[in-house]
Amino acid sequence: MSLPALLAISYLLGSIPTGLILARIKGIDIRKSGSGNIGFTNVMRVAGKDRSGKLIGLLTLAGDMGKGALAIRLALHQGSEWAPALAGLSVFFGHIFSFWLRGKGGKGVATGLGISLGINPALGALVCLPWALIFALTRTSSLASLGSFALMPLTALLWQRLLPSPENALPKHTLLLFTLMTLLVFFRHKDNISRIRKGEESKM
């Protein structure tokens, strides 16, 4: 597969609005409910009032993470040293600026975490751990997301410095990819950051 084809596929894969599609199963247009975001948190908050709704929320999380991981796995077989970073950025852009939603989309958290898992499952688990810990302590999804992504570049840097063996090697430019994703996640959460500072952010 050529690099341009890989990037196009990654972008279109990221553009699939998992939460929007799944929420329609319960007759909900997720864009017009709750915060209007198509991601896991809003789907779970709006649809997750019963068992089937919670399942839809979890499937949204799995789908958004899965498309990030899949793009990376495809890129690892492409051959170019830039392929994983570029494919990761493409699938990430696809999610937050979806072709199917005319440039609108999610905030990139689940897809970004999926990208980290696709690069290296153990590294991805370390990246996801702060999200789980912060959420368990605060019950605030946005704060957990910001915390985990703030630590993401540092986690990759320490991984490269402390685990330099070939079997632990990360694809080239992983640190750059993680840094760019972190900046975009913070940009997409600017309203959440404002509410957090005012003590007005919703909890789950």
142-151 pLDDT per residue, tens:
999 999 999 9
The burial of 136, by beta-carbon neighbours within 10 Å (0-12 exposed, 13-18 middle, 19 or more buried), is given as: exposed
- Is residue 84 a part of any domain in this protein? yes
Share of the chain above pLDDT 90, in %: 76
Phi-psi region of 102 (alpha: psi -120 to 50; beta: other; left: phi over 0): left
Number of domains into which the chain is organized: 1
* Largest interatomic CA distance in the chain: 51
- Residue 204 belongs to a domain: no
Q: Using one digit for the tens of pLDDT, what is the confidence trace for 28-51?
A: 999 998 888 899 999 988 887 788
Q: What is the span of the domain harbouring residue 12?
A: 3-198
- Model confidence at 53, in pLDDT bands (50, 70, 90)? confident
Q: Is residue 203 part of a domain?
A: no
Residue 80 is inside which H or E element, if any?
Answer: none
